[in-house]
Structure 1
């Protein structure tokens, strides 16, 4: 770094060290919302992560450069060449970890891990890496991280960061959890809040093996959100006893995928991942499904996992003419404009028809005949077959 760059870096580190947890949480909310902050582009997230580790008792080195002539053994006309820019280094107990922060608008792909991998290859094998991404990671990045064996790279999405920022959890604890699961189960993107959100496995830092089921549930179905959970639970109730399965909401598609992989690896129970394709293009749907299956099957075998991609959204099941007539008795069918919009954005059509009624409330009030009609949609056949294969005769107590 130039003297000016060193001065700027020192000022940023000093500003970060003056922040306490409530200020970090407020800054994280602004980062997630894409709001302007007082920090230069890309600097807010990396300093937030480092300061949060520091508050948890970790030893922290704020962003710095590594140069070719940084030791007396290397001399010459090129000894001021910058080799690396490091977003930060943390030490938690005996764990040494290089941090890379990505405050971008799209999920990080596998190429984004290459820079950190090259940095790790220049260091002792006990050094690991962590990538913190506001928008998570593509399926290809999650698969690539599985094969970076000599120097593990742990993947942190927005859900991980939010969980670790709370005072009762902490980044230091989250790092220990992630590394332990990576060592024991080979999972580099374990979601640190999964044991609380789904109550499937105990805290990975507590002694004892993972549990096999949740209160007797033999299948866990992961969906994108609470509204999806309400509707899917009612649909599964038409075929199975509720004690045999559990529907768990995440907070979005990427979070659902991370949670599904975490539960598949640690919970040792059958896992279904269900999410919206947000498109009707067959090629796009097939690609999303294949990528999700590849990533999930690294954590669970074919017979213990299933991916269901709904085209374009779950709400489309309600807008089929036969189901719509039962869901909205006495109301006119969809007009031509609504039909056109429903092709790609059925959720918007449904919300328009509902007025001020929330989707979850609407789903909870659907009649048994309406739910049964929706349950006959071909997109749900694979889900019902998979659940039936795992719950057995005792779990299938209802018949259409």
Structure 2
């Protein structure tokens, strides 16, 4: 999107202001609050949040609570032109991650994985991509992620996000479960070339 006219500039400023409001709202939530928000997302009862936005901020906040430095959804611009819209990034345990989140009522197809792969091509080697799909992933999407090397792209299903939130809500907050789950997913991808480790099964 080119930001040129007075109207475009005003809309751009308004978007940034709303993003700060979303960031402030999500940072007020702890583990029980995030679990409740996830249930509201499932029920499609998230007043004040545009479609899909609550899920984007929720997954980032979960990693922030586990100690990550988080950049909430942002735009990459050149001059007044938007080149990319990024669902978020975070830095945890010495590794950088770029995030794509999809809150859909159907499985995520290949397009978001292809989009993230292209974004990773513009960034330093070693940045890990993660696609969060609230309702899982199609078989073609899983296959594409498996053959995304040298770009590493992990796939994370929404039901596993909810399970981890439930564990943290029940008193496991100090265990850094999201950080541990991510490390397990990454190691599994390195060793097995499979980006879809079931963290619930692996951590049971």
Q: Considering the TM-score relative to the shorter chain, is it more than 0.5? A: yes
SS of residue paired to 1:98? strand
Gaps of 5+ in 1: 69-78, 198-400
SS of residue paired to 1:137? coil
Aligned equivalent of 2:189, options 182, 205, 212: 182
SS of residue paired to 2:199? coil
5 Å matches for 1:111-150? Answer: 111-150=111-150
SS of residue paired to 1:25? helix
Partner of 1:173: 180
Larger radius of gyration: 1
SS of residue paired to 2:63? helix
Q: CA deviation at 1:21?
A: 0.8
Native 8 Å contact 2:97 2:130 kept in 1:
yes
Q: CA deviation at 1:170?
A: 2.5
Aligned equivalent of 2:27, options 11, 17, 42: 17
Aligned partners of 2:14 and 2:202: how far apart in 1?
46
Q: CA deviation at 1:36?
A: 3.9
Aligned partners of 2:97 and 2:41: how far apart in 1?
23
Question: Per the alignment, do residues 98 and 18 of structure 1 end up closer, same or farther by CA in structure 2, a change over 3 Å counting?
Answer: same
Partner of 2:5: none
Q: After superposition, what is the alpha-carbon deviation per residue over 1:122-169, rounded to whole angstroms, capped at 9, x for unaligned?
A: 000110110111110001111111100111110011232123323235
Q: Please identify runs of 4+ aligned residues in structure 1 that moved more than 6 A.
A: none
| TM-score in terms of structure 2 length | 0.87
Aligned partners of 2:66 and 2:52: how far apart in 1?
23
Aligned partners of 1:43 and 1:95: how far apart in 2?
25
Native 8 Å contact 1:159 1:191 kept in 2:
no
Partner of 1:340: none
Aligned partners of 1:177 and 1:29: how far apart in 2?
25
Aligned partners of 2:58 and 2:109: how far apart in 1?
22
Aligned equivalent of 2:54, options 34, 44, 53: 44
Partner of 2:198: 191
Aligned partners of 2:150 and 2:92: how far apart in 1?
19
Aligned partners of 1:11 and 1:171: how far apart in 2?
25
Aligned partners of 1:126 and 1:134: how far apart in 2?
25
Partner of 2:18: 8
Aligned equivalent of 2:63, options 53, 63, 83: 53
5 Å matches for 1:306-385? Answer: none
- Higher RCO, 1 vs 2 (CA within 8 Å, ≥6 residues apart): 2
Aligned partners of 1:170 and 1:44: how far apart in 2?
21
Q: Which has the higher strand share?
A: 2
Q: After superposition, what is the alpha-carbon deviation per residue over 1:13-49, rounded to whole angstroms, capped at 9, x for unaligned?
A: 1111111110100011121233344311111001101
SS of residue paired to 1:2? helix
Q: CA deviation at 1:196?
A: 4.5
Native 8 Å contact 1:30 1:36 kept in 2:
yes
Aligned partners of 1:196 and 1:107: how far apart in 2?
24
Partner of 2:44: 34
Q: After superposition, what is the alpha-carbon deviation per residue over 1:277-312, rounded to whole angstroms, capped at 9, x for unaligned?
A: xxxxxxxxxxxxxxxxxxxxxxxxxxxxxxxxxxxx
Question: Per the alignment, do residues 144 and 119 of structure 1 end up closer, same or farther by CA in structure 2, a change over 3 Å counting?
Answer: same
